[in-house]
Amino acid sequence: MKYYTAFEKGTLTNADAAPRIRDLRAEQIRLQRIRGEVVSDLEDKTPRKLDSEFVLKHVQDLKDLLSTAHLRGTEDVSEVFHQED
């Protein structure tokens, strides 16, 4: 909204905004390409088989985390789901 107001008041010109708009469009294209690659990678992968030991370890980790999460904060919960195995 502040950019719209600046354009209306004349304090921001097309020439001022053009480089930033160009950079944002290039970034948008780059991100769309990466998204497409990620989606393609996900579609090509078959689900991996999980053994009971793997699942039980993660269940126990989650139980441990949830039993102490209220003391440490909710950001710890996301750590469990973002660990590389």
Q: Sorting pLDDT into bands at 50, 70 and 90, what band is 83?
A: low
User: Domain map of the chain by residue range?
Assistant: 1-45, 48-85
pLDDT digits (tens, 9 = 90+) for 72-82: 555 555 555 55
Residue 84 has pLDDT above 90, yes or no: no
Rounded to whole angstroms, how far apart are CA atoms 3 and 17? 9
Provide CB contacts within 8 A for 12, sequence distance 6+: 3, 6
Closest to 62 measured CA to CA, from 77, 40, 49: 77
Predicted local confidence at residue 72, as pLDDT: 58
**Cα–Cα distances in Å, from 2 out to 5, 6, 12?**
5, 6, 10
Closest to 66 measured CA to CA, from 79, 54, 47, 53: 79
pLDDT digits (tens, 9 = 90+) for 13-70: 889 889 989 999 999 999 999 999 999 888 877 777 888 999 999 999 888 888 776 6
